[in-house]
Structure 1
Amino acid sequence: MCNDYRLLVDLASIAEDFDNLSIKIKIPEGTPNVPAREDIRITDMAPIVRGTEDHERGTAQLVNRRWGWPGPKGKPVYNFRSEGRDFSSRRCLILADGFYEFTDPAEPKQKRLDKWLFTMADHRWFCIAGIWRESLAGEAFTMLTMDAGPDVAPYHHRQIIPLTRDQWADWLDPAVPARKVLRWLPQGSLPVTQVYGMPPAQGALVL
């Protein structure tokens, strides 16, 4: 399950892309300090885009929030199952240009897991479907998950939910049912490259 993702794109470019989609971004807390980061990990602060309080379609807020709220036993809730839930409020878009999955090492003597980077075909960056809530640690967000689609299934049985650009406004609009937005992308939409570790044998399936 995703516990590490990447954002190297500057916020000015991100705001411009939202504007091209007729989604006006407001920054109610001032422009957050978001340095380019190869690894954003659980409990880190990171930028999200969420709907406004009046739910006006085409308008959203950019804020910096904690990834993962404390669960009942104190462990952060960083992934959240989407199946069977409506998410009629507090939806958000998590800004990323890649996310990582880890698998057992192909080389038995290798101590660390193999690391794989998934990106979005045809786009420099993308959004991941999320929700946010208030917590004892302050407002925080989590990534929604579903059974793995064709690109991720060889690496993990579950996956987070990257959204195409024509889905962003719908996800921020609570009037649009979640089931109409949360779905697999077509095969080949999420190219994967190996960050470190031994490449698998030719034709091998990574589990």
Structure 2
Amino acid sequence: MCNEYEQHTSYVEYCKVVQNLALGVPIKETELDMPPGDDIRIGDMAPVIRAAGDNIVELAQMKFGFPPTRAHGPLFNYRSQRRHFGASHRCLVPASAFFEFTGKNHPRVKHRFTLVDAPFMAIAAIWRPGRKGQPSAFAMLTTEPGSDVKPFHNRQVVILRPGDWKAWIDLDEPEEELLRPLPAGSLNVEWQVATPHPTWKQDGF
């Protein structure tokens, strides 16, 4: 499952997309609210996009993965099918790319997925307020894999186009129409052997 992604979206680019959607941002918000990150992993702090009033969205720093329970470790991916999220805190995770790994032995092969026609993506997610001194946290929603991801994994995170951002945050469309894989050819994929110094290569599709 997706337990690692990167975030190199510029705040200026993000604001352009938000403005095109006729959404507002808080006056005090700056580029410091959208720090870059090469390899954001479970337990790291990262920005998410959430509702902050009528037609206003804000960036909030949260922890990747809900806290572990006695029976399970951190919950970082959450299956979306046959679930309703009207009572959930919904958000979006801005990302330049997400990663999937293949192979059972180390070093594994690391695959980097990016959108074909956009500089960054937004991953559908839910968040929970922090408790007992812990920060608020988020988990990414997953669905069945689309054609671009299926050769590498049997699940994938839900990627939303900008036109669906507000629909997810407000949930004014049915979940099954929003939380589904993108059409074939929507994602580029590069790969590398998972070493400390990557050299990315383009896959042939």
Give yes or no for TM over 0.5: yes
Q: Deviations over 1:24-47 (max 9, x none)?
A: 122677764543222111111111
Decide whether aligned partners of structure 1 residues 28 and 178 sit closer, same or farther in structure 2, where only a CA change above 3 A counts. farther
CA contact (8 A) 2:142 2:157 kept: yes
CA contact (8 A) 1:48 1:95 kept: yes
> How many residues are paired up?
194
Structure 2 regions of 5+ residues with no counterpart? none
What is the rounded CA distance, in whole Å, between the counterparts of 1:102 and 1:164 in structure 2?
A: 24
What is the rounded CA distance, in whole Å, between the counterparts of 1:141 and 1:94 in structure 2?
A: 9
Please state how far the C-alpha of 1:141 moved relative to its aligned partner: 0.6
Please state how far the C-alpha of 1:67 moved relative to its aligned partner: 0.7
* Residue of structure 2 equivalent to 1:91: 90
Please state how far the C-alpha of 1:177 moved relative to its aligned partner: 2.3
CA contact (8 A) 2:98 2:113 kept: yes
CA contact (8 A) 2:9 2:94 kept: no
Query: Matches of residues 1-207 of structure 1 in structure 2 within 5 Å?
Result: 1-26=1-26, 32-52=32-52, 56=54, 58-73=55-70, 75-88=73-86, 89-104=88-103, 111-136=106-131, 137-196=134-193
Decide whether aligned partners of structure 1 residues 34 and 49 sit closer, same or farther in structure 2, where only a CA change above 3 A counts. closer
Amino acid at match of 1:193: E
Q: Deviations over 1:41-62 (max 9, x none)?
A: 111111111113x5x3x32121
Calculate percent identity across the aligned residue pairs.
37
What is the rounded CA distance, in whole Å, between the counterparts of 2:152 and 2:27 in structure 1?
A: 37
CA contact (8 A) 2:96 2:120 kept: yes
Decide whether aligned partners of structure 1 residues 77 and 27 sit closer, same or farther in structure 2, where only a CA change above 3 A counts. farther
Q: Which stretch shows the higher mean deviation, 171-180 or 24-33?
A: 24-33
TM-score, length-normalised on structure 2? 0.85
What is the rounded CA distance, in whole Å, between the counterparts of 2:18 and 2:193 in structure 1?
A: 33
What is the rounded CA distance, in whole Å, between the counterparts of 1:79 and 1:171 in structure 2?
A: 17
Higher relative contact order (CA 8 A, sep 6+): 1
TM-score, length-normalised on structure 1? 0.84
What is the rounded CA distance, in whole Å, between the counterparts of 1:61 and 1:8 in structure 2?
A: 17
Amino acid at match of 2:99: Y
What is the rounded CA distance, in whole Å, between the counterparts of 1:178 and 1:36 in structure 2?
A: 30
CA contact (8 A) 1:7 1:95 kept: yes
Counterpart of 1:148 in 2: which secondary structure?
Answer: coil
Structure 1 regions of 5+ residues with no counterpart? none
